[in-house]
C-alpha cells in the first residue's frame, strides 16, 4: 500500500517555478508598460502645453501688431486734424513698432505656410498703409493741412484697415483652429495613456491573482504531500510492527518445535546412554572372564575375543559415550533456548547504563585479563522491556566481544545507543578479530560458529540473542570486517508490547 502513496508526492517544483517566473515577468512587463505610458503621456502633455503657449504667443503678437497699426492710425488722424506734434511722435513710435510686431508673428509662425502667407499679405497691406500714411503726414508736415486732409479723404485706408483687421482675425482663427487640432491630439494621447494604464493595471491584478492562487494551491499541495509523507511514515511504522510480529510468531513456532523435538530426542538418548552403561558394565564382566580364562586356560582364549574385550568394546563404548554426551549438550542447548522463548515477558523500566555496568562488573576478570576496556557512551536511551531478556542479550554480546578480542591489540568495547521514533538502536562495537562477511548471517544460527575454534562454546549464544531480540519485538544484525572488529546492532522497541499474533490469522 505504501507504493501507492509515492507518486502523489509529485508537486512538480520545476513547472511551478517556471510558471511563477512567467507570472512575475508579465507583472514587471505591465509595470514597465505603465511607466512608459506615463512618461510618454507626460512628454505629450508638455509638448501640448508648449504649443498652447505658442498659440497664445502668436495671438499676442498678432494683437500687438494690430494694436500698433490701429494706434498709428489714430495718431495719424489726430495729427492730421490738429497738427499737434504730440500725435506725430505717437504716430512715429507706433509705426516703428509695426514691422517688429509683424516680424515677431512671422518668426513665431515660421512652421506654418498658411500663416506665412497671411504674414506676407499683412506685410503688403502694412506697406501700402504706411506709404499712404507717410504721404499724408509728409503733406501735413509741409504745412499743407488741407491737402493732407483731402488726400486722407481720398485714400482707401479705411478699406485697407478693414482688410488688416480681417486678416488679423483670420490669423487668430487659424491659430485657434491649430489649437483645437492640438487639443484633440492631446485628448487622444491622454486616452491612450489611460487605456494603457488600465490594461497594465488589469494585467497586474490578474497576474497577482493567478500567482496568489497558484502559490496557495502549491502550498496546499505541499501540505497534502507532507500529510501523505507523515501517513507514509506511520504506515511504515505499522509495517515494521507487522514484520516484527511475523518474526516473533515464526520465532515462537520454531521454539515450540525445538522444544518438542529436543524433548522427544531425549528419550532415546536416555536409552542409548543407559544401555551403553549397561554394556560397559557387561564388558567389565567379560574382560574379567577373559582375564581369568587367560590365566587358567589360555588355549581357549582366541586373539579375536581378547581384542574384542580389551580394545574394541571399550573403544566403541567410549565413542558412543562422547557422542551421546555431545548430543546431550546440544539438546540441552536447544531446550534452554526454547525454554527462554516460552518464558513470560514482564516489561519494566530498565536503566540500560546501569545494566551494562552490572554486566561489566561480572566480566571484570576476563576484561582485565585481556587488558580490554568497556565503554558506555552516554547518553544511552533506556527501555521499558523484560529485564532478564535484555540482560541476557547484552551480556551475551559483551561476553562474545570480550571472548573474541584480538590478542594483538588492546581490546576496546563500546556500547552506544540512539532513539529513532518508537525504536531504540543499540550498538555493541569491538575491535576484536571480527567475523568474515560470509559468516554474518550464519553466526546467528544455532550451533554455528565462525573463525578459529579456540574458544569454548556450543554456538548457541547468538542464536539465543536473536531469539530474545525477536521475542522482544526487535531485530539484531552484525557488520564486521575480518580482523578489524565487529559491530552488533540491536534494535528494540522502546516500550515492549505484546505481539498481536491472535488478531491476524493465516
Name the residues that contact another protein, by CB under 8 A: 263-264, 266-271, 273-278, 328, 331-332, 339, 342
For 227, 363, 404, 436, 459, the CA distances from 455, given in Å and listed in that order, are 54, 16, 8, 17, 10
Q: State the nearest-atom distance from the C-beta of 283 to another protein, in Å.
A: 15
Question: What is the residue whose three cell numbers read 528494540?
Answer: 492
Q: State the nearest-atom distance from the C-beta of 463 to another protein, in Å.
A: 20
Q: Which three cell numbers stand for residue 187?
A: 485628448
DSSP codes, 168-208: HHHHHHHHHHHHHHHHHHHHHHHHHHHHHHHHHHHHHHHHH
Q: Which three cell numbers stand for residue 193?
A: 495613456
Parallel, antiparallel, or unpaired: how do β-strands 475-481 and 347-350 relate? unpaired
Q: Which three cell numbers stand for residue 99?
A: 514691422
CA distance 493 to 93: 119
CB of 219 or CB of 271, closer to another protein: 271
CB of 268 or CB of 379, closer to another protein: 268
CB of 249 or CB of 266, closer to another protein: 266
CB of 266 or CB of 440, closer to another protein: 266
Handedness of CA 345, 347, 352, 355 (dihedral sign): negative
Q: State the nearest-atom distance from the C-beta of 278 to another protein, in Å.
A: 7
CB of 13 or CB of 264, closer to another protein: 264
CB of 107 or CB of 271, closer to another protein: 271
CA distance 158 to 269: 161
Q: State the nearest-atom distance from the C-beta of 291 to another protein, in Å.
A: 24
CB of 143 or CB of 274, closer to another protein: 274
Q: State the nearest-atom distance from the C-beta of 253 to another protein, in Å.
A: 18
CB of 223 or CB of 277, closer to another protein: 277
Determine if the peptide bond prior to 379 is cis (ω within 30°): yes
CB of 33 or CB of 261, closer to another protein: 261
CB of 226 or CB of 329, closer to another protein: 329
Q: State the nearest-atom distance from the C-beta of 264 to another protein, in Å.
A: 8
Q: State the nearest-atom distance from the C-beta of 447 to another protein, in Å.
A: 18
Q: Which three cell numbers stand for residue 174?
A: 487659424
Going by C-alpha positions, the residue among 254, 259, 261 that lies closest to residue 444 is: 254
- Residue spans of beta strands (DSSP E) within 355-463: 373-376, 383-386, 412-420, 423-430
SS3 category, 333: helix
Going by C-alpha positions, the residue among 192, 205, 201 that lies closest to residue 37 is: 192
CA distance 36 to 275: 115
Q: State the nearest-atom distance from the C-beta of 335 to another protein, in Å.
A: 8
Going by C-alpha positions, the residue among 323, 395, 384 that lies closest to residue 357 is: 395
Q: State the nearest-atom distance from the C-beta of 488 to another protein, in Å.
A: 31
Cβ proximity of 372 and 403 under 8 Å: no
Cβ proximity of 447 and 457 under 8 Å: no
Cβ proximity of 48 and 186 under 8 Å: yes
Residue 22: CB atoms within 10 A of its CB come to 13
Q: State the nearest-atom distance from the C-beta of 346 to another protein, in Å.
A: 15
CB of 9 or CB of 259, closer to another protein: 259
Q: State the nearest-atom distance from the C-beta of 331 to another protein, in Å.
A: 8
CA distance 475 to 468: 9
Q: State the nearest-atom distance from the C-beta of 467 to another protein, in Å.
A: 17
Find all residues with CB under 8 Å of 20, minimum gap 6, and list them: 211, 214, 215
CB of 124 or CB of 263, closer to another protein: 263
Amino acid at each position: 500500500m505504501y507504493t501507492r502513496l509515492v507518486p502523489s508526492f509529485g508537486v512538480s517544483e520545476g513547472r511551478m517555478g517556471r510558471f511563477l517566473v512567467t507570472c512575475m515577468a508579465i507583472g514587471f512587463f505591465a509595470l514597465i508598460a505603465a511607466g512608459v505610458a506615463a512618461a510618454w503621456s507626460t512628454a505629450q502633455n508638455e509638448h501640448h502645453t508648449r504649443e498652447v503657449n505658442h498659440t497664445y504667443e502668436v495671438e499676442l503678437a498678432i494683437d500687438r501688431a494690430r494694436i500698433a497699426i490701429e494706434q498709428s492710425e489714430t495718431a495719424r488722424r489726430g495729427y492730421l486734424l490738429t497738427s499737434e506734434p504730440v500725435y506725430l511722435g505717437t504716430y512715429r513710435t507706433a509705426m516703428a513698432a509695426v514691422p517688429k510686431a509683424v516680424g515677431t508673428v512671422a518668426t513665431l509662425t515660421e512652421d506654418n505656410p498658411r500663416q506665412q502667407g497671411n504674414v506676407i499679405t499683412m506685410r503688403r497691406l502694412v506697406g501700402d498703409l504706411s506709404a499712404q500714411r507717410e504721404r499724408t503726414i509728409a503733406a501735413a508736415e509741409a504745412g499743407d493741412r488741407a491737402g493732407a486732409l483731402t488726400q486722407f479723404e481720398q485714400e482707401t485706408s479705411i478699406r485697407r484697415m478693414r482688410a488688416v483687421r480681417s486678416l488679423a482675425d483670420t490669423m487668430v482663427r487659424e491659430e485657434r483652429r491649430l489649437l483645437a487640432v492640438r487639443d484633440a491630439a492631446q485628448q487622444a494621447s491622454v486616452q491612450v495613456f489611460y487605456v494603457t494604464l488600465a490594461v497594465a493595471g488589469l494585467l497586474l491584478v490578474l497576474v497577482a491573482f493567478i500567482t496568489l492562487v497558484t502559490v496557495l494551491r502549491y502550498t496546499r499541495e505541499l501540505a497534502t504531500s507532507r500529510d501523505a509523507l507523515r501517513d507514509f511514515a506511520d504506515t511504515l511504522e505499522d509495517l515494521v510492527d507487522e514484520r516484527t510480529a511475523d518474526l516473533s510468531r515464526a520465532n515462537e513456532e520454531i521454539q515450540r518445535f525445538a522444544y518438542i523435538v529436543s524433548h522427544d530426542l531425549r528419550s532415546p538418548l536416555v536409552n542409548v546412554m543407559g544401555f551403553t552403561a549397561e554394556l560397559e558394565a557387561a564388558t567389565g564382566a567379560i574382560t574379567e572372564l577373559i582375564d581369568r580364562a587367560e590365566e587358567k586356560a589360555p588355549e581357549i582364549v582366541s586373539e579375536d575375543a581378547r581384542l574384542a574385550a580389551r580394545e574394541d568394546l571399550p573403544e566403541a563404548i567410549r565413542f558412543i559415550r562422547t557422542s551421546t554426551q555431545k548430543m546431550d549438550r546440544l539438546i540441552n542447548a536447544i531446550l534452554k533456548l526454547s525454554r527462554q522463548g516460552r518464558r513470560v515477558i514482564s516489561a519494566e523500566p530498565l536503566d540500560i547504563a546501569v545494566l551494562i555496568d552490572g554486566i561489566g562488573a561480572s566480566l571484570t576478570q576476563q576484561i582485565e585479563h585481556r587488558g580490554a576496556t568497556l565503554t558506555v557512551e552516554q547518553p544511552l536511551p533506556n527501555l521499558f522491556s523484560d529485564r532478564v531478556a535484555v540482560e541476557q542479550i547484552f551480556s551475551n554480546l559483551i561476553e562474545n566481544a570480550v571472548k573474541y578480542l584480538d590478542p594483538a591489540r588492546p581490546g576496546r568495547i563500546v556500547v552506544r545507543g540512539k532513539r529513532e521514533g518508537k525504536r531504540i538502536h543499540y550498538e555493541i562495537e569491538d575491535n576484536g578479530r571480527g567475523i568474515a562477511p560470509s559468516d554474518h548471517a550464519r553466526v546467528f544460527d544455532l550451533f554455528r560458529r565462525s573463525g578459529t575454534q579456540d574458544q569454548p562454546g556450543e554456538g548457541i549464544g547468538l542464536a539465543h540473542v536473536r531469539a530474545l531480540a525477536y521475542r522482544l519485538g526487535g531485530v539484531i544484525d552484525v557488520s564486521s570486517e575480518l580482523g578489524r572488529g565487529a559491530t552488533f546492532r540491536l534494535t528494540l522497541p522502546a516500550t515492549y508490547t505484546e505481539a498481536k499474533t491472535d488478531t491476524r490469522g493465516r
